[in-house]
Amino acid sequence: MRFRRNAKFISEINMTPVIDIVFQLLTFFMLTSTFIKSSAINVDLPSSKTSDAQPVREVVVVLYKDGRITVNNQPVQKNAITSFISKYAQQDSELVVTVQGDKRVDYGLLIEVMDAVRQAGVKRLSLATIYKED
């Protein structure tokens, strides 16, 4: 005796597991992404082809083209930078100082500020640039 199968197979894809995985991936990428807080200062930064993300514990030194200097948005004289930043360096040994300088800033001023930051005991110093593709 032979049996005939007349049943039709209905094939469909269950989308529930796929949607669950997509939401898990979305949640993972949202939680692991980093956000960089940038101050709204009108400084024309030079561009670079490479960049690195910086940790959250940082002090921002801004050099303006007219010679003004600010540390964390507070005006500072050039000779007071070391004492000003050393207060922050004493609180945090992993402190990062980021120097944002207008591209028309005197190179000598930049070197003097970098020396003052090093004299304050900061081991990690970075120069801010804007990433710009060709």
- The answer to whether 62 and 90 are in contact (CB under 8 A) is no
Separation between Cα atoms, residue 117 and residue 20, nearest integer Å? 50
Separation between Cα atoms, residue 87 and residue 97, nearest integer Å? 13
Q: With bands split at pLDDT 50, 70 and 90, how would you rate the model's confidence at 39?
A: low
- What Rg value do the Cα atoms of the chain yield, rounded? 27
Q: Give the per-residue pLDDT at 55.
A: 44
Q: pLDDT (tens digit, 9 = 90+) per residue, 2-17? A: 655 666 666 777 888 8
Task: Pick the more confident residue, 31 or 52.
Answer: 31
Q: pLDDT (tens digit, 9 = 90+) per residue, 59-105? A: 889 999 888 999 988 899 988 889 888 888 888 878 888 998 888 88
With a cut of 60, say whether residue 47 has pLDDT above it: yes
CATH topology classification for 47-131: Nucleotidyltransferase; domain 5 (3.30.420)
DSSP label at residue 94:
T
What are the residue ranges spanned by the domains of the chain?
A: 47-131
Q: Quick check: helix, strand or coil at residue 124?
A: strand
Q: Give the per-residue pLDDT at 92.
A: 81
With a cut of 50, say whether residue 56 has pLDDT above it: no
